[in-house]
Amino acid sequence: MLRDRRLILVSNRGPVEYHVTPEGGLQARRGSGGVVTALSTLTNYVDLTWVASAMGEGDRRVAQQAEGGRIKSPIPGQSLYLRYVVTPRRVYHKFYNIFCNPLLWFLQHYMWSSPYTPNVDNSVYDAWEMGYIPVNRSFADAVVDEAQHSSLPPYVMLHDYHLYLAPGMVREALPDALIQHFLHIPWPDPSYWQMLPAFMRSAICESLCASDIVGFQTPRDVRSFLQSCEMFVDRAVVDHTKCTISLDGRETAARCYPISIDVGELRDIASSPRALEYERKISQMLGEKTIVRVDRVEPSKNIVRGFRAYRLLLERHPDLHGRVKFLAFLVPSRTHIRQYQRYLQEVDGLVAEINETYGNENWQPITVFYENNYTQAMAAMKLYDVLLVNSIIDGMNLVAKEGPVVNTRGGIVVLSETAGAYTQLHEGALAVAPADVEGTAQALYQAITASVEERERRANLLVQKVEEEDVINWMQCQMDDMRALAGQPSESQL
């Protein structure tokens, strides 16, 4: 598929971040963020250009020095060109800190308290007009400019909620491009989208319908998107059986591509010397039974209810005191947003209360690690007896897939029914409803007391599912659908 057309991958964060050193030089590091992590494997196999925001001063300096607007990635193993989109800081602030986060993120994770929030006031209107639209325009212009490097129309793969308006802008300039837009987060019910003004939600849906394919994590998201287009785009004709939208003579397919992980790479990380050193240190903190969670500190991850369930477990079962341990590996997230600041304070307060109430000088029920340390988290997941993933709602939640493939103790995953991963992993996981503190406490106890046979049966089911549907399979499914649009045979037909 990629022999004759350029693949242009587009996301807010990119695979490389340049940092200014104390001496004034530039140091390249692997980019961070869920989208980058998920897509990094692709860069090992496919030549492409990755268009992303210049996130800091280092990226901006590199963008200014780039010949023809792009540079070759300096990261070993990455076969790609980088093209940074540079926008004025004030414009990017409106785009990211007012419109994308928290407005869209909170809306798409059902996190608004609708009687009180959000308040779509003049600042939101301004962020749409002076932030979201111009940043999307800048991304579209970068894609169009990059397309000039090939004689044939490109394949354009856009990612996530930051770039809802870019497909329509790219389509206008490149009518023959093959465009896919993939969403890593949930697509809520159309009634929830109605919190936004009609002109915003209609523009978002119309632009996405300029794509050839809109990809989602779960069938639930596909259904919600089709219903949204039916409600918000007057000219759209929706076929719920074929999962397509016809608009202005173009047909857009809504497809489900549940994202996954690179199993081999993950196991390599988990067995690396650095991970083994962390494993030795963490081994000294384990209880007879150890519960682990790995999350960003944000409200959608439901950390507070998870700790409340653990507190209820300790209250109900005094015999577990001193025998069970909860290790939480929490990555501070969006700390400049007040909702996240308050949530972190609530998490801190609850941990302190539980440790004070039930702990003693020899045993603290909870130990929290506040740092972004992926290798340490992998080492911890090798050692869990129970992995708690009780998010309110997630597009996927890759922790639920990472844990089973590195775990060495036949651990059980307690998994929220509203995490995207549940669709694939429900046969091996213990299901909980995210608001059900009582049920989560019961599930934790069931997992802790499960027989060796039960633990191994569930663990094997999870590992088998993740290995069968890994990140290569995720990308191959998308590539096959793009091949079909281009009139080329799929990989399995070659």
Instruction: Give residue-wise pLDDT tens across range 266-276.
Output: 999 999 999 99
Contact 140, 169 (CB under 8 A): yes
Phi, psi of 343 (to 5 degrees): -65, -40
Tokens 């050692």 identify what position?
A: 383
* Mean pLDDT calculated for residue range 63-83: 80
Instruction: Read off the pLDDT band of 22 (50, 70, 90).
Output: confident
Task: Fill in the DSSP letter of residue 286.
Answer: -
Residues 386, 411: contact at Cβ < 8 Å? yes
321 versus 45: the higher-pLDDT residue is 321
Q: What is the mean pLDDT of residues 248-259?
A: 96
| pLDDT attached to residue 77 | 66
The mean pLDDT of the chain is: 92
- In 109-249, beta strands by DSSP E: 155-159, 178-182, 213-216, 237-239, 244-247
Q: What is the mean pLDDT of residues 354-383?
A: 95
* pLDDT of res. 494: 44
Residues 6+ apart with CB under 8 A from 249: none
pLDDT for res 43: 66
Residue 217: the pLDDT is 97
pLDDT over 70, % of the chain: 95
Q: Which region among 28-32, 242-246, 406-410 has the lowest average model confidence (pLDDT)?
A: 28-32
> What share of residues in the chain are helix, strand, coil (percent, to 5)?
50, 20, 35
Which residues are paired to 10 by β-bridges? 51, 158
- 3-class secondary-structure state, position 28: strand
3-state secondary structure of 452: helix
The pLDDT of 37-42, averaged and rounded, is 68
Q: Give this prediction's pTM.
A: 0.92
Q: Give φ, ψ of 82 to 5 degrees.
A: -110, 140
The better pLDDT of the pair 486, 430 is held by 430
Kindly report, residue by residue over 204-216, the tens digit of the pLDDT: 999 999 999 999 9
Beta-strand pair 71-72/80-85 = antiparallel
> Tell me, what's the pLDDT at 5?
76
Quick one: average pLDDT of 217-223?
Answer: 97
The predicted pLDDT at position 50 comes to 92
Q: Which alpha helices (H) appear in 285-427, and where do they start and end?
A: 303-316, 338-358, 374-381, 399-406, 422-425
Arithmetic mean of pLDDT, 71-90: 85
* pLDDT range class, residue 397, cuts 50, 70, 90: very high
Closest CA to 215 of 422, 480, 493: 480
Confidence (pLDDT) at 41: 66
pLDDT on residue 4: 64
- The residue to which tokens 């409106």 are assigned: 94
Quote the distance between the C-alpha of residue 299 and its chain's center: 15
pLDDT for the residue 3: 59
- Per the CB < 8 A criterion, the answer to whether 257 and 469 are in contact is no
Nearest to 244 by CA among 274, 222, 261: 222
Over residues 153-174, mean pLDDT:
96
In contact, 170 and 51? CB cutoff 8 Å: no
Of the listed ranges 39-53, 112-126, 152-166, 471-485, the one predicted with least confidence: 39-53
How many Cα atoms sit within 13 Å of 100 on the Cβ side? 22
User: Residue 147 has which token pair?
Assistant: 């397309």
User: Looking at this protein, which amino acid is placed at residue 492?
Assistant: S
More confident residue, 154 or 413: 413
In the structure, what pLDDT confidence band is assigned to residue 75 with cuts at 50, 70 and 90?
confident
Mean pLDDT of the region 444-470? 97
Is the previous residue joined to 219 through a cis bond, with omega within 30 degrees of 0? no
